Amino acid sequence: MMHATLSKPIQSMTGYATASADSPRGRLSIELRSVNARFLDLQFRIADELRAVEPTLRELIGARLARGKIDCRFFLNEASLAAKRERLNAEALERLKSLAAEAQAAFPGAAALSIADVLRWPGVIAEQTADEETLRAITADICSRALDDLVAARSREGAKLAASVLERVAAMRRRVEEVAPLVPQAIAAYQAKITERLREAIGGGDDDRVRSEIALFSAKVDVDEELERLRVHLAEVERALGKGGAAGKRLDFVAQELNREANTLASKSASQPVSDCALELKVLVEQIREQVQNIE
């Protein structure tokens, strides 16, 4: 049996990762959740004040992942942002103090400004802002770190999926090789049985017709081609896993072909052992299909 050596990691489409970093606007955080999907499906939940970085996130994620539904949440930590805002702008305070003195001189009877009035004055509480380039740079950094973790998680899960698929491929190969020598015996036994019945039905006189009917029957129940195609498809599964990378769609197609051959084997079965083998193969193929549905 050919053993697959992974040249590129097989990845699952399931994973989770987070990353965060401080910025002049507050602490930025990203959360990535990945589940299986037929194509790459990106969903973003981004705070309105950060919406400008969505193209950057989309480009970075698209460059690293080929398939899966990716839920990306990108946000500012409100507690961190509030802490940063709890600082007074000294220049704004001086301007307000000067304006208040002028107003007091013009209106001596007016009430003095309260602390609440001062804090509500525009610009008194300092708000740090970041330029777009700085924000994009920090965004790219934390997104890349989150993607590193996500890809690593998907690769670990992918290795488990690949091992599971290969176990079932090995089991299918064993069953095919066990049943292959039994096929000629099963056909011969069934031929003898049919021959006897045909001779009884036609009175035993027309041997040419009997031979013709038996030949036709033998062609219908001969499963050598199905067994050989099963071997070819099993080798293709091993080859795809050995090559690695985004193999999910290819593996899903081959699994469908394996199922087709197992069904044909069952329909052409001439003995109970062949029928039992076909049933076991169908169960194993279904297990393979369940696994490859999660492979990128």
Domain boundaries, the chain: 15-81+131-154, 90-120, 156-292
Closest CA to 163 of 280, 292, 33, 28: 292
* pLDDT score of 6 more than 70: no
Closest CA to 26 of 1, 47, 5, 55: 47
Residues 6+ apart with CB under 8 A from 282: 259, 262, 263, 266
Q: How far apart are CA 142 and CA 31, in angstroms?
A: 10
Pairwise pLDDT comparison (2 vs 74), residue with the higher score: 74
CA distance 123 to 152: 46
- pLDDT digits 0-9 by tens, 12-55: 999 999 999 988 778 899 999 999 999 999 999 998 888 999 99
Report the distance separating Cα 271 and Cα 183, nearest Å: 8
The reported pTM is: 0.70
pLDDT at position 207 is 61
pLDDT of 255: 96
pLDDT at 122: 78
CATH of domain 15-81+131-154: 3.30.230.10
Rounded Cα distance between 227 and 107, Å, is 102
Q: What is the pLDDT of residues 246-266, one digit of tens each?
A: 899 999 999 999 999 999 988
Question: Strand runs (DSSP E) across 39-197, as ranges?
Answer: 40-46, 68-76
